[in-house]
Structure formats: C-alpha cells, structure tokens
Amino acid sequence: MMKKILIPTDFSLNSYKVIDSVLALFRNRACDFYFLNAFSYNVSGLSAMELLQADDEWFDRPKEISEGNLEKLLELYRLKYSHTAHKFYSISECSGLVEAVYKHQVDVGMDLVILTSGLNTNSDRQNKRILDEVRNCPVLLLPVRTSMDSHLSITIASDFKQRINTYQIDRFRLGLGLKKIEIGILVLDEQNKLSEDVTSNLETLISYLQQFQNANINLEYAKTNNQLKSYAALHCNGILCLVDKKPGLMRKIGLFKSDLISKLKQLETNSVLAIHQ
C-alpha cells in the first residue's frame, strides 16, 4: 500500500537531516513524500500606508523563494533516490505551519506527519499545537540526531486506563515494510498497583501483539517522569510510541492539557510516535 508522508521543511540543515532519516526509515517501502513549506510576509515595522503601497514584487517574492527552494529540494531527492519506489512532491503554502499541516493532512489524506523535535521553544510550541490538531493519522517526532538500529524496536507507552486502539499503530508498522520489528510495552504506572481495567487492557494488547511477534513481549513499568526519562535514555535508538487519550470535555474546552504533551518533555532526544485514540 502506497504511503503518503507529509514533511514540513524550512530548508535548514536540520530539516535536511530529518528528511534523510525519514527516507532511510522507509527505504523498503513505496512512499509518496510531500515536502511542505509554510511561508508568511514580514510586515513587522510596516505602517498600514506602507503595506498598501507595496508593489507586486514585494508580495510575489516570498512565494518565489518558497517555490524555488522546494524545486531544488525535489531535484536533490529525486536524483538521490531515483532507484527506489519513492516519489516526491512539494507544497508551498502562505499560512502558519500548524494550519498548513492540518489542511494538507486532511486534503491529501496523509498516512503520517513528520515533525522535527528539540530545536527550540518556538518549534516545540508549534509541534504541540500540531499534535492537538492532527488526530486522524500518526505524528512522528524526530530529533535532528536520529539514530535507529537496522533491527527496529517500538515501545508502546501508556497508562492503559483506556483500551488501546491499534489501528494507527498497525498503519505505521505495516507502512515500514520491515520483516522484523520488535515491539515492547511500557506501562506508565506501578507494577503492583494496576487496576482490573488496566490489567485487562494490557492483556488484550499483549495477546494482539503475540499474533505477529513470536518472541516474548518485553514489558516494563515507569510510574514517574524520571523513570520514563531513564527508560528513554536506554532506548534512544528505537521509537517510543505514546498513546494520546481520547480528549474529554474539559480538554476540549481548553481547561486540561494532553498527558502526551507533558510526557514529551522527558523525550527530547528520542524518536516519538504520537498516536490518538
């Protein structure tokens, strides 16, 4: 199945590094990659009169720069990956990044959105907004210095207070096209204090994973943020899959924040797959 992957880019060196990591991760799969550049007009310091008097060239220039850089990006990767089943497309959008990602994820029907993590405060803030907005497909956050073993491991991390919907996990797992993916489970709770519902949800997921994973399921626990951070440090070459709960009323009206967002603070150097219930 062809996979559509959206990758925002600002044409920086860090952006190129993340693109290279993504292409390496999906090297065994036929994919359509969409490079998105969201641009805006710099009106800082301009008066209303100056803005009205701006000529066509002033308005055209940002779009020309965006489209020109995207064309160079396409040329580079089409040449570099001409021997693969990868196809490359570009999207130039005059809007905020969050709005552009949401729009094209819906319009094109993306299977995965890629974000660069750990760059700066503004970037992380945008990533959090995108995670709140984009709920129809998984979002993969990659640090610039991404290092993954050829034998890929994925850890599903959750408190298991809700039964895990495996649909988005399956879309990602099957999309990689790899024969061997080791999947483990990290319970965000104390081992000896699990409720009956949590235990039942956990057992359901284990039974599901055993259908396609012959080896024993690696099961670990991390109650505190420090324990989560320690686990992440020992598994920096794999992907941590965080399950975002279905938002309740209080979260929908903005009174509560996603638990997923608070967990991301402990995982700035890890590759994180955010999926939604």
The label of the residue with tokens 């050829």 reads: 150
The per-residue pLDDT for 260 is 65
pLDDT above 70 coverage of the chain, percent: 83
Mean pLDDT of 138-144: 91
pLDDT value for 171:
83
d(CA 223, CA 225): 7
Q: How confident is the model at residue 115 (pLDDT cuts 50, 70, 90)?
A: very high
Whole-number pLDDT of residue 219: 92
Q: What does the pLDDT average to over 108-135?
A: 87
3.40.1410.10, 3.30.390.30, 3.40.50.620, 3.90.420.10: CATH of 3-143: 3.40.50.620
Largest CA distance in the chain: 70
Q: Write the DSSP symbol of residue 104.
A: H
CA dihedral 249, 251, 252, 258 (to 10 degrees): -140
Pairwise pLDDT comparison (245 vs 31), residue with the higher score: 31
Q: Tell me which residue of 260, 257, 261 sits closest to 243, measured CA to CA.
A: 260
Which band of pLDDT confidence, cut at 50, 70 and 90, is reported for residue 48? low
Task: List, as one string, the DSSP characters of 180-222.
Answer: -EEEEEEESS-GGG--HHHHHHHHHHHHHHTTT--SPPPEEE-
Reported pTM: 0.87
Domain 152-276, CATH number (from 3.30.420.10, 3.40.1190.10, 3.20.20.120, 3.40.50.620): 3.40.50.620
pLDDT one-digit tens code per residue, 205-243: 999 888 877 667 889 999 888 898 898 888 888 899 988
